[in-house]
Chains A and B, each alone.
Chain A
Amino acid sequence: MIAYIVKKMLLAIPTLFIVALIVFCLMRSIPGDPAMILAGDINDPLIVEQIRKSLGLDQPLPMQFFLWGKQVLSGNLGFSAMTGEPVFETMSKRIGVTALLVVPALILSVLFAVPAGLYAAWNQNKKGDITIMVCLIVAISIPSFWMGMMLILIFGVWLGWLPTVGYVPFGEDFWQAGKYMILPVISIMLVEMATITRMMRSNAIEVLRQDYITHARAKGVSERNVLLKHTLKNSFAPTLTLIGLMLGSLLGGAAVVETVFSIPGIGRLLVDSIYARDYAVVQGILLFVSLIYVITNLLVDVLYPFFDPRVKL
């Protein structure tokens, strides 16, 4: 088991290295000389040259990448041009907010998707299944930001049940904070929920056709146990992989939903930083998002044998 985990972790290192390389190349290909921008009005070539040297920009590109990589690894992501704060601090303030949006959305989607997918598969081609499938394809087709706006309009403006936009930290007022998060979580989770349900359903249908299910039924195992013991576990394993992969799109979706609901999360920070051309922050966020993605998929890989022991340890 430990060998398996170590192997998976080692495989993640080249991925992270390439991510860093891609982000580095993207940032370096932005038009404009960072040294000139830092020098501002001072139009002295000597001073610009000095700044260039202090930033390491006079070195060849591979050397620059190496120096930059060393800084990143030591946790130094540079300073935000907007606030002058270290990027790491700016980001860590926002990460928690996005987590409060993405984690509940993911948990609720799975809590809905697994039973719904199982139920639909069990009732394949019957009324319940067809109803669920039609609802799902509609849910997949509605953009999350428009869904968010409609929810604001219905529950915030017309019915007045929930606050419209904004964010209250959970530390200040727990109930109020929860109320503010309901609509954003719903609008970000619908697509994920529908995708996971569809995956769960098709996996469960596949499993229900297997000989061991027929065998279990012939043996007299109750339908409940056939579903819960034999089908659930075996069809959840491939679904788990999808859930890991969906985290990327959830974090991307967070940028849009946070904009709709004016939530100060990391997605909103990215959009603001792109507008403000605050490259250090953009770079930090891209690195951070891919790190989260790689770690989550590592966790999924590590958990996978638990659901499907056929995967060699």
Chain B
Amino acid sequence: MTRIMKTRRYNEVIGKYIFASILIMIIIGTFYTPYDPIAINLDNILSSPSWKHLLGTDQFGRDVFSRIMSAGRISASVSFFAVMIALVLGTFIGVIVGFWGGWVDRVFMVFLDALMALPGILLALAIMMVIGAGMSALIIALGVAYTPNVARLVRGIVLSIKQKEYIEASKVLGNSKVYTVVFHVLPNCITPLTVAVSSLFSAALLAESALSFLGMGVPPPSPTWGGMLADGKQYFSTAPWVSIFPGVVVSLTLLAVNLLGDALRDRFDPRMNNM
């Protein structure tokens, strides 16, 4: 076994451990947190980390650790549902334009190029300006903003699948286009899409925390990782723990997702074996 394979395996194992720990933390945080993550306690403002408050308290005296635990659920579910929207919409559009081709495809590519010219975060910001702030708005905005990426990817996959003999065979057998797409094209998109989902999830998580940081995320008092970072910014030089720890958790989550994404790519996409 070469060293790179060992390192890769270490990476995958480390990724899995971090991911599992964060997942467990989020699940526990749904049912139990050491302190109430929302209740204000003015006797205990900005106290530094101690045995009583492991990661200190914020400007309203709320326990930072408890807030991180309960924020995880919101941050993760926003990213999850945003990715799901992007996946469903993107696959639908990508399959249609890729399979039918012709002028549909040409028109679509121009549209896609135009959407790609508006950076994801800015597009999401603009969409939120139209539909308002809030958790569901955030999910929709991020989902729509990432749809072009998925559509582009699926279109590429479908274009290559279209050349395969089994699609030809399905046509010769007299199957309808819809049948061919559902039973022959879609199943073959799943593997490459799995790899894309991991990078999409990390992008969505990053965008969610960036938008919350800009004050465009889930409104208070519900904690999110990005929102906690933004709250801490004001007290940064005197109480750095308020923003250090949420940032550590976001970075660790992203690291885990990226490590697992690399491992998935190694496994499913042998062409990328040298990445």
List residues of A whose CB falls within 8 A of some B CB. Answer: 14-19, 21-23, 26, 29-31, 124-126, 129-130, 133-134, 137-138, 140-143, 145-146, 149-150, 152-153, 157, 164, 198, 201-202, 205-206, 245, 248-249, 251-253, 255-256, 259-260, 270-271, 274-275, 277, 282, 286, 289-290, 293-294
Contacts and interface: CB of A to CB of B under 8 A. Distances in A.
B275 A274 contact: no
A30 B216 CA distance: 16
B24 to A, nearest CB: 20
15 contacts: A124-B274, A130-B3, A134-B7, A137-B255, A137-B258, A141-B254, A149-B236, A152-B236, A157-B240, A164-B237, A205-B274, A256-B213, A260-B233, A271-B214, A290-B114
Contacts of A133: 7
Contact of A251 (B122, B126, B209): B122
Interface in B124-170: 125-130
B272 interface: yes
A22 B114 contact: yes
Contacts of B254: 140-143
B184 to A, nearest CB: 31
A26 B262 CA distance: 36
Contacts of B232: 149
Contacts of B90: none
B204 to A, nearest CB: 13
B259 interface: yes
A249 B251 contact: no
Contacts of B115: 22
B250 A255 contact: no
Given A143-B209, A153-B240, A202 B272 contact: yes
B262 A143 contact: no
Interface in B247-262: 247, 250-252, 254-255, 258-259, 262
Given A141-B252, A145-B210, A252-B119, 17 more contacts: A19-B114, A19-B117, A23-B126, A124-B4, A126-B3, A137-B255, A138-B255, A143-B209, A149-B243, A251-B119, A252-B120, A252-B121, A259-B213, A274-B125, A274-B216, A286-B118, A289-B119
Interface residues of B, number: 51
B237 A157 contact: yes
Contact of B247 (A22, A29, A140, A146): A146
Contacts of B68: none
Contacts, number: 149
A260 B232 CA distance: 11
Given A146-B247, A198-B275, A252-B119, A259 B214 contact: yes
B122 A289 contact: yes
A130 B5 CA distance: 11
A141 B213 CA distance: 17
B209 A282 contact: no
A141 B22 CA distance: 15
B59 to A, nearest CB: 16
A145 B233 CA distance: 10
A137 B243 contact: no
A252 B251 contact: no
B13 interface: no
Nearest to A157: B237
A138 B7 CA distance: 15
Contacts of A255: 121-122, 125, 214
Contacts of B116: 245, 248, 293
A149 B248 CA distance: 12
Nearest to A283: B126
Contacts of A271: 125, 214
Contacts of B118: 19, 22, 248, 286, 289-290, 293
Contacts of B7: 130, 133-134
